[in-house]
Structure 1
Amino acid sequence: MKNKTLAAWLSFVGGPLGLQRFYLHGIGDIWGWLSPIPTALGLYGIERVQQRGLDDHWSWLLIPLLGLVIASGALTAIFYGLMTPEKWNARFNPGATLDATSGQTNWLTVGALACALLVGTGTLMASLAYSFQHYFEYQIEEAAKISQ
């Protein structure tokens, strides 16, 4: 029996590592094994900023990738948490009755939804702001070079 609350928390906390995929689909899930790759690339972007400074163009691409991975894990947690018990049990617990307790929403599920909404939205907005700020700064610098 796959528990909806546990899946929502795994998506929120371990989404960038694909933990919810392993819980729901088993250890052989290819998407679960591919999930840490963009997370590692985003962490590498943070390392590049620390080593080379904010003018590193690769970090402008890699850091927002980490933010998008975190935001997608939060979005998955919201998706799982808002799924009706009938739909949850039909999809992930096919042998159970449609109103089985593993698909029910409780206060821990609501807590996962609230945390995922707060952190996911903040991370997504910060990632977009970071990438757009550096993109427009680069455009202004290039325009200044052309005008001279």
Structure 2
Amino acid sequence: MKNKTIAVWLTFWGGPLGLHRLYLLGRYDTLARLLPIPTLLGLYGVYRARSIGLDDMWSWLLIPLLGFTIAACALNALVYGLMDAEKWNRRFNPAQPTEAAPGQTNWFTVAGLVVTLLLGTTALMASLAFSIQRYFEYQYNQDQTVSATDFRKSEY
């Protein structure tokens, strides 16, 4: 039997690694196998930013992958947590009655939703802010380079 509360907390803690999909859909789920890829690429971007610096273009391209993966998993946890018991049991516990206990929402589920909403929103906003800031800084630096080159050409 698949428990809604466990699914919400597993999506919060192990969602970017696909653990919630392994729990709910089994080891043959393709997305569960693919979720660690953007997570690890994002972590590699964080590593590059910490070791090389924030001016590294690869780091500002890779870091948002981690944030968007965390935000998508948080959204998935919200969908799981807000699903009514009948729909949950029909989808994940088809052998159980529609009002079975694993599909019920309790205070641990609500706490998981609150924490997930906080983390998911933070990850999404931080990823957007970081990537947009880096993009405009890169564009500004490119414009400065072009302007300096044009200025040097106009002197001759």
TM interval, shorter chain, is: over 0.9
Inter-partner Cα distance in structure 1 for 2:144 and 2:119: 37
Q: CA deviation at 1:28?
A: 2.2
Normalised to the residue count of structure 2, the TM-score between the two structures is 0.92
User: Any runs of at least 4 consecutive aligned residues in structure 1 with deviations exceeding 6 A, and if so which?
Assistant: none
Distance in 2 (CA, whole Å) between partners of 1:73 and 1:23 is 14
Equivalences, count: 148
Correspondence for 1:77 = 77
Q: Secondary structure at the match of 1:28?
A: coil
Rounded Cα–Cα distance in structure 2 between residues aligned with 1:139 and 1:22: 41
One-letter code aligned to 1:129: A
Could you tell me which runs of 5 or more consecutive residues in structure 2 were left unpaired when the two chains were aligned. Answer: 149-156
Report deviation, 1:60. 1.0
Q: What CA deviation, in whole Å up to 9, does each residue of 1:67-123 have, x standing for no partner? A: 011111111111100000011001001111111111000000000100000000011
Letter in 2 for 1:117: L
Q: Partner residue of 2:66?
A: 66
Report how far residue 51 of structure 1 moved: 2.2
My pick for the range that moved more, 111-120 or 46-55, is: 46-55
Is the counterpart of residue 29 in structure 1 residue 25 in structure 2? Answer: no
The amino acid across from 2:110 in the alignment is V
Task: Name the residue aligned to 2:44.
Answer: 44
5 Å-filtered alignment, 1:72-111, equals 72-111=72-111
User: Shift of the alpha carbon at 1:6?
Assistant: 0.4
* Cα-Cα RMSD: 0.9
| Corresponding residue of 1:144 | 144
- Matching of residue 130 in structure 1 with residue 148 in structure 2: no
